[in-house]
Chains A and B, each alone.
Chain A
Amino acid sequence: MIEVRNLTRYYGEFAALTDVSFKVTEGQVIGLLGRNGAGKSTTLKILAGLIPPSSGTVTVDGIDMVAEPHRLRSRIGYLPEDPPVYEDMTVTSFVRHIGRMKGMSASEVDARLPEVLATAALGGRENQVIGTLSHGYRKRVGIAQAVIANPRLVILDEPTSGLDPVQIRDMRKVIRDLAKGRVVMVSSHILREVEQTCDWLLVLRDGKLVAQGTEEALTADQNRKMQIVVRGDANTLVEWLTKHPAVEDAVTRPMSDGTTSAVVTLRADAREQLAADLIAAGFGLRELRGAGDALEEVFLGLASGKAGAA
Chain B
Amino acid sequence: MYTFTVARRDLGAYLHGYAGYVILSAALFITGLLFQVRGLGAGAQYSHDILETFFENCGGLVMITSILLTMRSLAEERQMGTDVLLFTSPASDLQVVLGKYLAALGVLTIMLALTVYMPALIFVNGKVSPAHIATGYLGLFALGSATIAIGIASSSLFKSQLPAGILAAVVVVTMLLGWMLSDKTDAPFTDVLAYVAYWDKHFTTFQEGRLHVRDLVYYGSITFIGLLFATKVQEGRRWA
A263 to B237, CA, bound (A): 52
Q: Are B238 and A88 in contact (CB under 8 A)?
A: no
Q: Are B13 and A86 in contact (CB under 8 A)?
A: yes
A74 to B1, CA, bound (A): 14
Question: Is B82 located at the chain interface by the 8 A CB criterion?
Answer: yes
Q: Which residue of B lies closest to A75 (CB)?
A: B90
Residues of A within 8 A of B (CB): 48-52, 70-71, 73-74, 76, 78, 80, 82, 84-89, 93, 97-98, 100-103, 145
| Nearest chain A CB to B115 CB, angstrom units | 27
Cβ contacts A to B, 27 pairs, < 8 Å: A49-B88, A50-B84, A50-B87, A50-B88, A50-B238, A51-B239, A52-B239, A70-B92, A80-B81, A80-B84, A84-B81, A84-B83, A86-B9, A86-B13, A86-B82, A87-B80, A88-B12, A89-B16, A93-B12, A97-B9, A101-B6, A101-B85, A101-B86, A101-B90, A103-B1, A103-B2, A145-B85
A-B contact number at CB 8 A? 66
Q: Are A101 and B5 in contact (CB under 8 A)?
A: yes
- Which of B8, B9, B16, B80 has the most C-beta atoms of chain A within 10 angstroms of its own C-beta? B9
Question: B200-240, CB under 8 A of A: which get 1 and which 0?
Answer: 00000000000000000000000000000000000000111
Contact of B88 among A76, A86, A89, A100 (CB under 8 A): A76
A103 to B5, CA, bound (A): 10
A226 to B85, CA, bound (A): 48
Known: A51-B239, A80-B81, A101-B85. A71 touches B17 (CB 8 A): no
A80 to B5, CA, bound (A): 22
Known: A97-B5, A97-B9, A98-B85. A88 touches B17 (CB 8 A): yes
Q: Which residue of A lies closest to B4 (CB)?
A: A100
Residues of chain A with a CB closer than 8 A to B9's CB? 86, 89, 97
Contact of B12 among A82, A89, A102 (CB under 8 A): A89
Within 8 A of A (CB), among B85-113: 85-92
Q: Which residue of B lies closest to A77 (CB)?
A: B88
Q: Are A70 and B90 in contact (CB under 8 A)?
A: yes
A84 to B76, CA, bound (A): 12
Q: Are A48 and B88 in contact (CB under 8 A)?
A: yes
A93 to B6, CA, bound (A): 13
Residues of chain B with a CB closer than 8 A to A52's CB? 239
- Chain B interface size band reads 20 to 34
Residues of chain A with a CB closer than 8 A to B84's CB? 50, 78, 80, 84
Known: A78-B84, A78-B88, A88-B13. 5 other contacts (CB 8 A): A80-B81, A84-B83, A97-B9, A98-B85, A101-B86
- Which of B81, B82, B84, B85 has the most C-beta atoms of chain A within 10 angstroms of its own C-beta? B85
Q: Are B87 and A82 in contact (CB under 8 A)?
A: no
Contact of A84 among B13, B85, B92, B239 (CB under 8 A): B85
| Nearest chain A CB to B20 CB, angstrom units | 11
Residues of chain A with a CB closer than 8 A to B85's CB? 84, 98, 101, 145
Within 8 A of A (CB), among B130-189: none
**Which 9 pairs of residues, A with B, have the shortest CB-CB distance?**
A101-B89, A100-B5, A84-B82, A73-B90, A84-B84, A70-B90, A84-B81, A74-B90, A78-B88
A19 to B16, CA, bound (A): 48
| Nearest chain A CB to B173 CB, angstrom units | 31
Q: Are B5 and A85 in contact (CB under 8 A)?
A: no
Residues of chain A with a CB closer than 8 A to B238's CB? 50-51
Contact of A102 among B81, B83, B90 (CB under 8 A): B90
